[in-house]
Amino acid sequence: MTETLRRGYPGMKSIKDMPVLQDGPPPGGFPSVRYARRIPSTGPAGFTLFAVTASIMAYGFIKVGQTNHERRAAKAEKKAARFAIMPILQAEEDRRYVQANEAFIRKEKELMKNVPGYKAGEQLYSGGRWMPPAPRVGAWGGA
């Protein structure tokens, strides 16, 4: 509040008789002052980030599930194909084993022809009962 003293103002006996002049707002008022903190927007809102992340993860989980399903189907198909040809492969292996065993017995007969009482193809330790294999002995035998 501003008080102005006018010298020689008639009828002024006390300071209380002084006219009071007060500054006021201009007609229509002062323009509004922005006092709030103005922070620029730095990106999308939190819910938007959450929604986008959740949708990307959902898409990824769906693709992982589809890929697992396809891989499982391919594995089952491969296993079915192996089961289908297993008898043929087993027959070939049996045939190869019989031929190799016969060749081994022929070679054994030829090597041991001078040993009396030796029967080719018979087990050397045929005691009639089962015995566990002997343990390996020696520095390089392992244990």
- Residue range 102-133, pLDDT digits in tens: 999 999 999 999 999 888 888 777 677 777 87
pLDDT over 80 at 7, yes or no: no
Closest Cα to residue 19, out of 30, 32, 6?
6
Rounded to an integer, the average pLDDT of 3-31 is: 72
Lowest mean pLDDT among 6-20, 54-68, 69-83, 93-107: 6-20
- pLDDT per residue as tens digits for the range 52-63: 999 999 999 999
Q: Which of 19, 14, 17 is nearest to 3 (CA)?
A: 19
The helix (H) or strand (E) run that includes residue 108 is: helix 46-111
High-pLDDT (> 90) share of the chain, %: 48
Q: What is the DSSP letter of 15?
A: G
Indicate the pTM of the whole model: 0.43
Q: How many CB atoms lie within 10 A of CB 105?
A: 13
Candidates 99, 122, 94, 96; CA nearest to 109 is 122
Predicted pLDDT at 1: 40
What are the beta bridge partners of residue 20? 3
Q: Which residues contact residue 44 at a Cβ distance below 8 angstroms, ignoring those fewer than 6 apart?
A: 52
C-alpha to C-alpha distance for 103 and 125, rounded to whole angstroms: 21
Residue 2 has pLDDT above 60, yes or no: no
Termini Cα distance of the chain: 108
Query: According to the 3-state scheme, what is the secondary structure of 19-72?
Result: CEECCCCCCCCCCCCCCCCCCCCCCCCHHHHHHHHHHHHHHHHHHHHHHHHHHH
